[in-house]
Amino acid sequence: MATESPLYQRRRAPTAQELAGIPWLARLQPLERERALDELRVGDALPGDYVCRVGRPVTYWFGVVDGLLKMSSDNAQGQTMTFTGVPPGGWFGEGTALKREAYRYNIQALRRSVVAGLPIDTFHWLLDHSIGFNRFVMNQLNERLGQFIAAREIDRMNDPDLRVARSLAALFNPVLYPGVGQVLRITQQELAYLVGLSRQRVNEALAALAAQGAIRVEYGGLRVLDLQALRASGLTTTAAG
């Protein structure tokens, strides 16, 4: 939350309900939790607001309490490459926070979102003092590695249905995004931004996945009925390729 950003200017103390949506707080001992609660802040992000920008120094470790963010970067030709979406319960940037380096990607709100931030010095203090926090961060790093390996596989897929299936499976990851549950609040246009396809093509892919019994399209979102089927779609293609 750089000082000039609108999100930083809208920072405030979290409510009790918002704190309940932060998964790692339950891993802390009382004194550790007390310090974290003193330092945690949330910001109300509007569509298009940047949470992180390429080249900016890391000042907070961020997480999504509510809403949807996207992680992307621009190449030398000015084209935007989207890496992943970040739904509720997701915390990100721990690698950047660990190294205290500048961001190599942008994080932007796709819709109105509530974003939580833990100051970088508090993040490192918890690493130095909390076994539970260390385990959470290690699990995040391990799961994130698998996520980005899968993302590279998705980039090589020419079948739009499989791209949508694997991208959805990533958003339903229960370790990285425990706040999602079985229903992901996302529009077809938002999913199109994340997958890199047209809204019409995403709609066709969702219809095919629904016909297979993997998902159900509901008002305002998607319900996963068979997460293994979503994951297996991409694995089958990779093996066949």
Are 32 and 107 found together in one domain? yes
Kindly give the parts of the chain with pLDDT less than 70: 1-5, 75-79, 149-157, 233-241
CA-wise closest residue to 195 among 110, 82, 87, 92: 82
Query: Helices in the chain by DSSP H: which ranges?
Result: 6-9, 16-20, 30-39, 94-99, 120-129, 131-155, 160-171, 188-195, 199-211, 227-240
Which of helix, strand or coil describes residue 65? strand
Which of helix, strand or coil describes residue 158? coil
Is residue 152 a part of any domain in this protein? no
Q: What is the C-alpha separation between 87 and 103, in angstroms, rounded?
A: 20
pLDDT at 239: 35
What's the number of domains the chain is made of?
2
- Report pLDDT digits (tens) over 35-70: 999 999 999 999 999 999 999 999 999 999 999 999
| Rg from Cα positions in the chain | 18
Are 90 and 188 found together in one domain? no
Which of helix, strand or coil describes residue 74? strand
Q: Single out the residue in 92, 120, 147 at which a domain terminates.
A: 147
- The CATH number of the domain where 195 resides is what? 1.10.10.10
pLDDT at 4: 52
pLDDT at 186: 92
**Residues 6 or more apart in contact with residue 237 via CB below 8 angstroms:** 157, 159, 162
> Which domain covers residue 135, as residue numbers?
6-147
Is residue 1 a part of any domain in this protein? no
Are 93 and 179 found together in one domain? no
pLDDT at 81: 74
Are 54 and 141 found together in one domain? yes
Are 136 and 167 found together in one domain? no
Are 169 and 101 found together in one domain? no
Are 142 and 231 found together in one domain? no
- Report pLDDT digits (tens) over 173-202: 888 998 888 899 999 999 998 888 899 999
pLDDT at 240: 34
Is residue 66 a part of any domain in this protein? yes
DSSP assignment letter at 155: H
| Pairing outcome for strands 183-184 and 221-224 | antiparallel
Average pLDDT, the chain: 87
Is residue 153 a part of any domain in this protein? no
DSSP assignment letter at 24: G
pLDDT at 231: 80
Q: What is the C-alpha separation between 201 and 207, in angstroms, rounded?
A: 10
Are 136 and 213 found together in one domain? no
pLDDT at 151: 64
| Pairing outcome for strands 50-52 and 106-109 | antiparallel
pLDDT at 182: 87
Are 128 and 167 found together in one domain? no
- The CATH number of the domain where 107 resides is what? 2.60.120.10
Q: Single out the residue in 98, 128, 147 at which a domain terminates.
A: 147
pLDDT at 45: 94
Cβ 136 vs Cβ 26: under 8 Å: no
